[in-house]
Chains A and B, each alone.
Chain A
């Protein structure tokens, strides 16, 4: 690594020194292309975020792509029903690596207000890995921007080499996940244990 003082000194003379990783991640995080796809109420707030007042373009993420092949960020905006869940997983599988997921709103996180519904999936993290979860019903556009910035921080911190390198740099790591099917009573399987690893319930609260 370059000495920070030397870096600052060079910067004053108009010379920028960065590691390859930093430069690469800076480029990736500054041009996230979201998949243009909304599910419910949160999609309207997503559109509002992309519109003139909140202007997602300030963070380089305004290029909504209608095709998963061209997208690298999936914003799950709205309630995922059991009828929709297989399609969401399939869209995720079709996205090229590196790919990221933002679960926007209470419904995408956990089923939200519709959790008691028989047709509502209780959180998309049962099938695909979620990088940033934004609570709210629906989250305000500012919250979505905050979530995007959090995701950018995460991307900036990812390592491309070494033992803690990012998932997508490992060619042995699976990039797609099994698509659930309709069973007799529920989606089969009801969750993917590879992905769904909730933190154990805290005992000290009881």
Chain B
């Protein structure tokens, strides 16, 4: 970031990116359809499973593949767990940005490790899960997984309560967050924002409700919204969303049916979708994550385009920061919740 200051006040700010440009799109266009799945893990490396889902959803739209019901449930469970761990990590990171390096992050990562243990038991990897496949998931749940997930979900509200008791009423946190960089709903919509930052500005827009992708229409959950759109709202919206995710998880863990986890008609290796184009999007933990794919009928994508929420949410950074103090810039950046793997791709 290039920041121009007048005293301590920001008068100009220019994000500079490209330091982590890893050529995701070009590499994916040179490889087979299936080979792009592990690369999507590394886009937003805090939440790999939602990235997997967005990509497989786009391919399934392109090829018109059906997904078995059990696989949809597993997807919802893993996606909501991903959302939980992203929001938990966010709480730790934004506190670290405010200068509380250490304690908050330790609490957050303690909880995150429990979720990563579940991912590891399911997929074999802590972070780079590479789990979803066209028309389903790679493997079925291991025995006892649902029980341990249930235990985690049962205990999670207690952790959120603990975190809130420590944080939300804290005088320093309120002083650092409340009233900092408010955002109007109009500006948020015009800026193309999505995800928690958009809802914190008071816009009722959640792709889980709008698109009803997967089986989200079967689940009862609320979409929390902010009123002021300042950093505090952006912080609280994550806490509230985590609570809603817990509700979804409770319903999903009870309602998961038996059955196959992958569509037997779907061919993974040597997959050739018909020529055409498709856009698949999901409500990722950071916003609308979309994949725009063009197929020319061959075994590799003709065009592979990622619509990353982090990058588009970042575009409003200058506007949010102008007129604030230099010390607030890090907090505002933290409250947008970006991951540079996704910004630069």
Contact = CB atoms under 8 A, between A and B. Distances in A.
B39 interface: yes
Contact of A116 (B19, B27, B341): B27
B127 A113 contact: no
Contacts of A140: 126
Max chain B CB contacts within 10 Å: which of A87, A113, A116? A113
Interface string B37-60: 011001001100000000000000
A34 to B, nearest CB: 14
B23 to A, nearest CB: 3
Contact of A138 (B30, B109, B127, B340): B127
B215 to A, nearest CB: 30
Contact of B18 (A47, A83, A87, A137): A83
Interface residues of A, number: 26
B84 to A, nearest CB: 16
Interface in A78-105: 78-79, 81, 83-84, 87
B327 interface: no
A41 B23 contact: no
A53 B110 contact: yes
A40 B21 contact: no
A200 interface: no
Interface string A112-148: 0110111110000000000000000110100000000
Contacts of A114: 22-23, 27
Contacts of A138: 127-128
A48 B18 CA distance: 25
Contacts of B112: 48
Best-surrounded residue of B19, B26, B106 (most CB of chain A within 10 A): B19
Interface size class of B (residues with CB under 8 A): 20 to 34
Contacts of B109: 47-48, 51-53
A39 interface: yes
B20 interface: yes
A117 B31 CA distance: 12
B110 A83 contact: no
Nearest to B113: A53
A72 interface: no
B21 A51 contact: no
B105 interface: yes
Interface string B3-37: 00000000000000011111100110010000000
Interface in A5-64: 39-41, 44-45, 47-48, 51-53
B20 A84 contact: yes
Given A47-B105, A116-B27, A39 B127 contact: no
Interface string B101-131: 0000110011011001000000000111000
Contact of A52 (B21, B42, B110): B110
A39 B20 contact: yes
B127 A81 contact: no
A83 B19 CA distance: 5
A120 B110 contact: no
Contacts of A52: 106, 109-110
Interface in A181-202: none
A41 B110 contact: no
Interface string B270-297: 0000000000000000000000000000
Nearest to A53: B113
Nearest to A116: B27
A203 to B, nearest CB: 31
Contacts of A45: 126-127
Nearest to B106: A52
A79 B22 contact: yes
A153 to B, nearest CB: 26
Nearest to B35: A113
Given A51-B106, A51-B110, A53-B113, A81 B128 contact: no
Given A41-B45, A51-B113, A52-B106, 10 more contacts: A39-B20, A41-B127, A45-B127, A48-B109, A48-B112, A84-B19, A113-B42, A114-B27, A119-B21, A138-B127
Interface of A: 39-41, 44-45, 47-48, 51-53, 78-79, 81, 83-84, 87, 113-114, 116-120, 137-138, 140
11 contacts: A40-B20, A44-B45, A48-B116, A53-B110, A81-B19, A81-B21, A113-B42, A114-B23, A114-B27, A117-B23, A117-B27
The 3 A-B residue pairs with the shortest CB-CB distance, nearest first, are A117-B23, A51-B109, A41-B45
